[in-house]
Structure 1
Amino acid sequence: MRLPGGGGRRRHRAGAALGDQFLCNRVGWEWCRASVGKIRRHGAAPPDRHQLGASPPAGTRLAVHSRTPERRRAMRVWCNGAMREGAAIEPGDRGFTLGDGLFETLRWADGAARHLDRHLARLRAGAAFLGIPLRWSDAELGAAMAAVVREPGLEQAAIRLSLSRGPSARGLLPPSEPRPTVVVSAGPLPPAGSATAIVARSTRRNEYSPLSRIKSLCYLDNVIAAREAAECGADQALLLNTAGRLAESAAANLFLVSAGELLTPPVSDGALPGIARQLLIERCGAIERPLDVEALISADHAFLSNSLGLRALNRIDGRTLAVDESLLSALATRIDR
């Protein structure tokens, strides 16, 4: 597919030589552009992301921490059919002890959860694969989402639906008759704007594991990668698979714009089959193609997609990329209709 508007090939001069751009690939963990200073493992503090040239987007509100934080009332959530304040789970719940469960993140806008049918279909498919019964109907789960958004009066929100196999005795084997736990909660959407990223060195995505294709509660690889990104002063971490090819980011699917084509790693390389990702394939002609780290060097643009929106990457491992907001806006409009 040839992209509309700013999708044509436009070379953006890199801010450093290739060796500096991806020196981090060789020494691991550290952001090693010469302009940053000493490598962190030699004792230097991690660079501040604003020193790396990533300005906060216009309109972003910065958090101000009070010396005496206010007491906040506990979050009201929907848990197993009822609204509760600060719902508690049993100590032996397998979602808590083993990560035995699934989750979905949805965006609430215009009075509805966007692409609810697709999210619940994926949740049910994952639950069937894991053998977790989900007795709540789509209508009941949709009503639960409306309830958790209505109470705090959120017009737009990020909704989290978590499904655990429920409590059991010690051990790995699940109970013969599980009592699943379902929790639905809501919070404000994260701030928009472009982001910086690194290619993670601390962990790899196992493209052979079935966990790469379901939204498992066990997200420790992603947590490890996200911590690495934060230590390097970046917002996001891109994950490689065991073969060294690009898979996705720690919290979103990855897309590159190169020579007018919209490219994304295939599921077979460890990319989660994301809802927004599938919509970009169906409605915007995105092409699944194996991508190595060199593809980041030749890309004109890069962005991340998840159910909360599209987010441009303006810098990857120290290399600056152009941001085409008009292209992102056009793509977002297509997948949101």
Structure 2
Amino acid sequence: MPASSLRRLLALAAATVVGSTAVLGGGGVATGEPAYAPVDQPGPALTVPADDLAKSLECTPDVRDATREPVLLTPATTVDSDQNFGFNYEPLFRELGIPYCTSNSPTDPYNMGDMQIRAQYVTYAIREMHELAGRKIAVMGHSQGGMIMRWSLRFWPDTRAMVDDVIGMAGTNHGSVIVPALCVPNCAPALWQQRANSDFVRALNSGQETFPGISYTEVYSRTDEFVQPNLDDHGTSSLRGGGGDITNVAVQDVCPLAVPEHLLIGTLDPVTAALAVDALTHPGPADPSRISPSTCTQLLMPGADPLTAPLDFTSVTVQVAAQLTVAAHRVESEPALACYVTASCPA
């Protein structure tokens, strides 16, 4: 599917959403909604095979005994880490001397499956990176990847002491009102779970959305065609509190004329990159006032090769469109919540 067809698909989805903003909320009450696990309830044992967990994490050598905060990169739905970060953030981090790891499921490389399983890989990665580095880490991701670490922090409380920064780029923290139209009549499990009114989203934001000791930087675009509503910091990407320091910031708050869409936010947008680096190189979350006005004149983020990045971006666009149309990914309904999500689950 060409890029123009993908844009038409997403525009059609947006046009078919009627009155959907009413379902957006942090932990709203729905008929039959379960009592969720207390936020301090110890997390369950990981059920993903140990060999698969070990294969999922790849790190630069300087993560071991790191002398600065290392970053775990978590990709979006429909792509793997190399497609999401290989032509942008990985070269930038190497240039800046920032250690990093990537997390990819060997059985679900494009993150289309049940995100509760994906979160097990992220939980494993946080623990392994923290032990390897001997210090707190940052977790940074795009779209699904900008939200999935929060499932680990919510339901595996031991990970909270291991994370210093959470950086979300167009994260689906409260789902999206665009996604339901993509699930007619069916869609991939990860898309069912990223609807604004999904069981997954309600569980994710139950109890509290953020935790003390962690700095949260949530970057979004008002012109994002896929993750909506995102018109202000009451939108879907922004976090509402509970603990920790939070910066919710639109790209347009820094550069009013910027118009990045969903894929650009997590790949080539210079404002998003500047905010991410600011969060990684200062205590606390990003501070938009520290971003140079010259960032608004840049076409691409640092680290991206101006000769090859446009072609790389086009390849990612084609990949996203292809994955959205793969029939094998599609299921009839959202995956059931795991037992550990509820307060009534046996220990």
Structure with the larger strand share: 1
The structure with more radius of gyration: 1
What TM-score, normalized by structure 2, do the two folds share?
A: 0.30
Task: Give the structure with the higher percent helix.
Answer: 2
